[in-house]
Structure formats: structure tokens, C-alpha cells
Amino acid sequence: MTTTTTTYIADTNDDRLADFRALNDQSLRRKLESDEFFIAEGYVAIERLIESEHVVRSVLLAPSRVSRFEPHLERFAAADVPVYVAERETIAEVVGFDMHRGVIASANRKPNPSLDELISTSLRIAVLEGLNDAENLGAISRAARAFGIDGLLIDPTCTDPYSRRTVRVSMGEVLFLPIVRISEPDWPGALHTLEAAGFETWAMTPEPSASDLWGTPVPERLAVLLGAEGPGLAEQTLIASGRRVRIPIRPEVDSLNVGHAAAVTFAAIGRPMFSAQT
């Protein structure tokens, strides 16, 4: 069944569904997607994708989900973006699991800006080191967008910011953030580049000797450094940062999840900005 805006597919081996195969196989997906495209899953993430500057490649919907996307179908048709419709069982066999959301899209990745470009357009940057959990990265990206962070700087070991889980957990907000990945030879030296451009660099740490977040003056240009859940920031990164800052919490609690810590920090440093808007 084909309409002017959708194409029905029943064959799970149809090459037109190649972008969506084996979504639960992370190693295969990284090879398949490379730095060419990514996957967005769910209504909100895809609607944010449509609003972003990323170019949609194709969309796959269960029959029960087509009506929700009626407002976008003509736009997709005008842009020659194919919209495929398949039964839920067909989609499950293609992607590798029962996708109850029944709506998924693939899109081309925008070229990443350079560090100089990020610096020239930003006052607030989140610097992420060693984050290997896609959901944490998604939560941080969503908080970054909510609290006025202008872009992300990620180290060589950080997980892919365009992984399906990251895009989904960020509710698509990661698609609006300029992201720069630093190569291994330039890490953590990139922090000195930020400082040379007038950024103060804050390494977030639970160390008792670190400056109290609530009492630390917020500079005009600021880069907030966040490390992976558990190990935190590497010692060489702490040394390269300009200031160590902690979020005061009750002593009987070990620490905050890195996504929660990021949101608290972003909200705290954004208070002057948001206070001026009210």
C-alpha cells in the first residue's frame, strides 16, 4: 500500500530499511552509522529533529502512528524524505526488539564546528570527559539546553553524543547543541585554549577542599568540567583546570549522579541570566 506521502513495507529484508537494522547491536550500529547519520526515536525527539538543522533521511512508522505525523507528511514529501509504514512485528524484526513507540527516523549528522568556532559563539560551555553512559550524556544535554549552555566540548573517550539512547533521553535537545570532540593529542590541552580565550574552567569534584558552588562568583565566560560516573575527572584534567568546585550535599550522601550534578551546576551558574529575564 503506497500513498502520495507514505510507502508500506512488509518485507523485513527490504534494503530501504537498512538505516534501522539491529538497533540493539551497539558495535554494529557504530560501524553502520559512523559519522554519517544517526537515529531518533519517539515523537518528541523526532519533532525536535524536524525543527533542527539536521537533514532527515527517512522515517519508519507503525500504522497506528501515522496520524500523529500527518502534519509533517507533506513537508517530508516536498523534501523527498521517504516515510515508510510497517507492521509492529515487521519493525521489531528489523530493529531487533519490540519498539512500542512505533516511530523512528534516521538523519544526516551536521559537520561538527571547530573549537575556535565554538569559542567564538559561546559564553557557557560544558566540557565532558570519559562519559560512557549514553543516558547520562542525554540528561546532561537536556539540562544544558534548559539552562543556557551554549555548546559541548567532549574528550576523545566520551560516548557518541548522537547515539539513539542519547538523542532519546535528551528529548532531542542534543541536536541543537554545537558539539566539538577533541582529539587525543589535544586533551586536556584544549582547556588552556579555553582559558586563553577568556574562559574560567571549573572542574566539578566532591573534594572537600574545592570551592563551594553557591559562594563562587560566576565569570562572564565559563567552562564547566564534568567527569564520568564513579571515577570523575582524571587527575591531569583537574590539574589543568583553573578552579575546583563542589556542590555542597549532606555528608551521609556519597555523591550525585553526574546528570543531576550537571543540572544543579548549570542552574546555579545560569541564575544571573534567568533572573534578568524575569
Q: Are residues 125 and 185 in the same domain?
A: yes
Q: Are the beta carbons of 81 and 56 closer than 8 angstroms?
A: yes
- Please state, in angstroms and as integers, the Cα–Cα distance from residue 245 to each residue in 19, 188, 202, 273, following that order: 43, 18, 6, 20
Helices 43-51/70-78 angle, 10° precision: 40
Q: Are residues 139 and 193 in the same domain?
A: yes
The answer to whether residue 1 is domain-embedded is no
Q: What's the average model confidence in pLDDT over 240-254?
A: 94
Domain-ending residue, one of 69, 90, 108: 108
Q: How many CA atoms lie within 13 A of 95 on its CB side?
A: 26
Residue 245 above 90 pLDDT?
A: yes
Q: How confident is the model at residue 230 (pLDDT cuts 50, 70, 90)?
A: confident
Q: What's the average model confidence in pLDDT over 238-247?
A: 97
* Predicted pLDDT of residue 6: 94
The answer to whether residue 237 is domain-embedded is yes
Q: Are residues 134 and 176 in the same domain?
A: yes
* Predicted pLDDT of residue 33: 95
The answer to whether residue 2 is domain-embedded is no
**CA-based nearest residue to 239, from 266, 207, 274, 273:** 207
Q: Are residues 94 and 147 in the same domain?
A: no
Q: Are residues 124 and 101 in the same domain?
A: no
Q: Are the beta carbons of 237 and 215 closer than 8 angstroms?
A: no
Q: Give the sign of the dihedral formed by CA 183, CA 224, CA 178, CA 137.
A: positive
The model's pLDDT over 154-204, given as tens digits with 9 standing for 90+, comes to 999 999 999 999 999 999 999 999 999 999 999 999 999 999 999 999 999
* Predicted pLDDT of residue 101: 83
The answer to whether residue 273 is domain-embedded is yes
Domain assignment of residue 149, given as a range: 115-277
Domain-ending residue, one of 63, 93, 108: 108
Q: How confident is the model at residue 274 (pLDDT cuts 50, 70, 90)?
A: low
Q: Are residues 101 and 128 in the same domain?
A: no
Query: C-alpha 52: how far from its chain's center?
Result: 13
Torsion angle in degrees (nearest 10) through CA of 241, 242, 248, 249: 0
Q: Are residues 99 and 119 in the same domain?
A: no
**CA-based nearest residue to 112, from 175, 31, 29:** 175
Q: What's the average model confidence in pLDDT over 50-57?
A: 95
The alpha helices in the chain, defined as continuous H runs, are: 26-33, 43-51, 70-78, 88-95, 115-120, 134-146, 164-169, 190-196, 235-240, 258-269, 271-277
pTM: 0.93
The model's pLDDT over 63-86, given as tens digits with 9 standing for 90+, comes to 999 999 999 999 999 999 999 999
Q: What's the average model confidence in pLDDT over 105-133?
A: 97
Domain-ending residue, one of 89, 108, 127: 108
CATH code (residue 15): 3.30.1330.30
The answer to whether residue 250 is domain-embedded is yes
The answer to whether residue 215 is domain-embedded is yes
The answer to whether residue 121 is domain-embedded is yes
C-alpha–C-alpha distance, residues 204 and 232, integer Å: 9
- Please state, in angstroms and as integers, the Cα–Cα distance from residue 246 to each residue in 208, 211, 223, 249, 255, following that order: 8, 6, 15, 9, 10
Backbone φ and ψ for 210, nearest 5 degrees, come out as -70, 160
Provide the strand spans (E) within 142-204: 151-154, 179-181, 200-204
Q: Are residues 142 and 28 in the same domain?
A: no
Q: How confident is the model at residue 60 (pLDDT cuts 50, 70, 90)?
A: very high
CATH code (residue 204): 3.40.1280.10
Portion of the chain with pLDDT greater than 70, in percent: 96
Q: What's the average model confidence in pLDDT over 17-46?
A: 94
Q: How confident is the model at residue 276 (pLDDT cuts 50, 70, 90)?
A: low
Q: Are residues 241 and 142 in the same domain?
A: yes
Q: Are residues 100 and 126 in the same domain?
A: no
Q: Give the sign of the dihedral formed by CA 263, CA 163, CA 112, CA 77.
A: negative
* Predicted pLDDT of residue 31: 93
Looking at the structure of the chain, the number of domains it has is: 2
Q: Are residues 257 and 194 in the same domain?
A: yes
Q: Are residues 253 and 167 in the same domain?
A: yes
* Predicted pLDDT of residue 275: 56
The answer to whether residue 55 is domain-embedded is yes
Average pLDDT value over all residues in the chain: 94
